[in-house]
Chain A
């Protein structure tokens, strides 16, 4: 079976399933909205600056909202033991992983676009001053976040206490990615994004390592 076709079939099926069950998407979006509303009331609107503390707040919301979605990315496969049926199919298991990765990636990107608009609406955040650079940065972060989040979610399929274990395993590993993202957001909004920037290089390296390693590890991670 063609590798790309498998990715496509699993991806389409997952999107359809997610849109029907809605719970993952809605809970992430509502969390995001609620966080912004709370910040809006708790902090002086005029003092929030995306090129300063606002960058950290924005990525913090993305981490938590993304976690809500990604820790349930294999939930539909846990129901009725469907995951075993996927593993039984004569397909490359890395294709199943990559399809899930793309679903997470697309969702995170939508989540961020939604967040940027809301940040602009609530705080007048300067997200549209350098939209392309912010989008490139968001894509860079999403690749690493989705790669790692999807792999850890697969490791915890049918495990008791997975909702506790998931953030415990994920957050320490994500630290360099989001530290780089926050630092880079601040500099991106002040000056242009340059490849020579060590934070950007860190994000690219993180993406390459975790996407490649996760694709290879998935097969053995789901063996039992």
Chain B
């Protein structure tokens, strides 16, 4: 069966002054698959992720959603189905968990707001904390609130920029479990990371960036296989 390409970027270049951060990168995100985008610090992973999230403008190239270039009305349509999570939590410290979710639900124009908020709060075990100020939460709890905020609009495309950074092992395991579960609920996910740990087991595809270029793309077989491939490009001890 032919896999459907949901999001695609073609020949993306990004310049910061004279410095070129991305050098003609092509990338395809297949529907209902988890793609890991890997590479060392400064490889251009986060830049590419921000371009895909429309947070940064590409210098050259184009981004397609369902085979159509993202511009005009499609820009808003794409943003409505997009979820973006990073190591930053994107939550207001001085608002309660409920107020945070309520605010973003309003911005996304979610119609059944009350039910949706209750649903995500219950899914992430936040119900008992709903009236507490988010700034007082532990890192793990903040990450759960952040995930709840990200999934509030029921995004079909999820871009996760270093989501595992700074999480303790149990929070890391929980997040990997959540992502795994999301895949079964027909989500297209891009995970940006530079670490090869147990979380890579959930990947369907992986892409390696090096100095702004895509140097490798393949289906995920095993962690050892990925490690060996990764070390071929960046050096290190083969397994």
Contact = CB atoms under 8 A, between A and B. Distances in A.
Interface of A: 1, 5-6, 9-10, 13, 16-17, 20-21, 76, 79-82, 84-91, 223-224
A17 B55 contact: no
B88 A80 contact: yes
B108 interface: yes
Contact of A91 (B82, B92, B107): B107
7 contacts: A1-B108, A17-B92, A21-B94, A80-B88, A86-B107, A88-B82, A89-B104
B90 A20 contact: no
A76 B92 contact: yes
A6 B107 contact: yes
B108 A13 contact: no
Given A16-B99, A80-B90, A90-B108, 8 more contacts: A5-B106, A20-B94, A79-B92, A80-B91, A80-B93, A84-B88, A88-B55, A90-B79
Contacts of B94: 17, 20-21, 76
Nearest to B159: A88
A90 B133 CA distance: 26
Query: Size range of the interface on B?
Result: 20 to 34
B57 interface: yes
A223 B57 contact: yes
B24 to A, nearest CB: 20
Interface of B: 53-57, 76, 79-80, 82, 84, 86, 88-95, 99, 103-104, 106-109, 133, 142, 149
* Ranked 8 nearest A-B pairs via Cβ: A81-B88, A85-B90, A90-B79, A89-B107, A9-B106, A20-B94, A80-B89, A1-B109
Nearest to A2: B109
Contacts of B103: 9, 13
Nearest to A86: B107
B99 A79 contact: no
Nearest to B81: A90
A6 B91 CA distance: 18
Contact of A88 (B57, B79, B95, B106): B79
Contacts of A76: 92-94
Contact of A17 (B90, B95, B108, B142): B95
Contacts of B108: 1, 89-90
Contacts of B142: 80
A82 B91 contact: yes
Given A76-B92, A79-B93, A84 B84 contact: yes
A85 B106 contact: no
A85 B149 contact: yes
Contact of B107 (A9, A81, A223, A224): A9
Given A6-B107, A9-B103, A17-B92, A81 B82 contact: no
B88 to A, nearest CB: 3
Contacts of B107: 1, 6, 9-10, 86, 89-91
A90 B88 contact: no
A13 B56 CA distance: 26
A86 B93 CA distance: 15
Nearest to A18: B94
Nearest to A84: B55
